[in-house]
Amino acid sequence: MADKLSFLEEKEQFAANLIKRNFTGGMNIMRKVLLSSAIIMAMGSVSFAGHAAESATLSVTGVISPAACDVELSSASVDYGTVQASTLTSTMNQLEAPTVTVSVACDAATAVAVQTVDNRSNSAMTLSEIESNLGVTFPQLIDTNVFGLGNDSAGNKVGALMLAISDATLNGTAGSNLLSSSDKLTWSTKTISPTASYVLTKNGYFALGNSADSVTPAVVTNASYTIKSNVLLKRSDKYPSGEQVNIDGNVTFSVVYL
């Protein structure tokens, strides 16, 4: 009888231990599930915060392009050919050449001027040098009206170049009201004709006005200017003996938007 009771007690103890182990394992599993769920929820929250944007920026870009204008010369050079030294007998020897046309064409009407730049300015004579070397005076001109022609082997100035506008057209119509400026801000009027030319200034600007009393450059789709060049050379004995001397003037005409 005692043995039977002992056997029953052992069975009850075994059952109690089994229930205890199952309950404890279940709790552990539940803890693991709850912990995993918490981690997943936390990760989800962090990921969502990382992709959130509270503001966005819009860029607005573009380019405003002015009307395009081109400038062309009817001839890229004025060639005086070979000048025989024996013909330079006077104190002042003047050479005239065929005219050159400066044309401006724009793809839309716009206010433009043309600038002249003397690329040989270091060899340009002053009016006093012209008087002392060539024996002639130009009281109506200023030093900036004289362009350079280069230097000879001795470093002396070869001569003087002057460029003058004698005729012009504005948008297909003859234009006689030429405007000139040194700064593109203040313009003065110059009446031109085949017998009354306007002598250009180096590093200056010229344009056309709509009327005789206009002091504002007109808008242009096309314009043309007839330019004649005058070269003044010294007497032959003023150049290095037995050497070839190059006449080397160089002027750039550029479109300037106003």
HEC assignment per residue over 75-112: CCCCCCCCCCHHHCCCCCEEEECCCEEEEEEEEEEEEE
Q: Is residue 180 domain-resident?
A: yes
E strands along 84-218, which residues?
93-96, 100-118, 159-170, 173-174, 177-181, 188-191, 198-199, 205-208
227 close to 102: Cβ distance less than 8 angstroms = yes
Domain span at 143: 69-257
In CATH, what number is assigned to the domain containing residue 251?
2.60.40
pLDDT digit string (tens) for 117-131?
A: 999 999 999 999 999
| Confidence at residue 191, expressed as pLDDT on a 0 to 100 scale | 84
Q: Is residue 31 domain-resident?
A: no
| Confidence at residue 23, expressed as pLDDT on a 0 to 100 scale | 44
| Confidence at residue 213, expressed as pLDDT on a 0 to 100 scale | 83
| Confidence at residue 30, expressed as pLDDT on a 0 to 100 scale | 44
Q: Is residue 47 domain-resident?
A: no
Compute the average pLDDT of residues 32-40. Answer: 46
Residue 129: how many CB atoms within 10 A of its CB? 14
221 close to 105: Cβ distance less than 8 angstroms = yes
Q: How far is CA 164 from CA 78, 116, 179, 197, in A?
A: 14, 12, 13, 6
| Confidence at residue 37, expressed as pLDDT on a 0 to 100 scale | 47
Q: Is residue 46 domain-resident?
A: no
| % the chain with pLDDT above 70 | 80
> H or E segment at 248?
none
| Confidence at residue 14, expressed as pLDDT on a 0 to 100 scale | 52
Domain count, the chain: 1
Q: Is residue 43 domain-resident?
A: no
Compute the average pLDDT of residues 3-17. Answer: 53
And the tokens for 52?
């959130």
pTM: 0.75
pLDDT digit string (tens) for 73-98?
A: 999 999 999 999 999 988 889 998 88
- Band of pLDDT at residue 186, cut at 50, 70 and 90: very high
Residue 178 is given by DSSP the state E
Task: Scan for tokens 């003023």, then name that residue.
Answer: 238
| Confidence at residue 50, expressed as pLDDT on a 0 to 100 scale | 58
Higher-scoring residue by pLDDT: 142, 63: 142
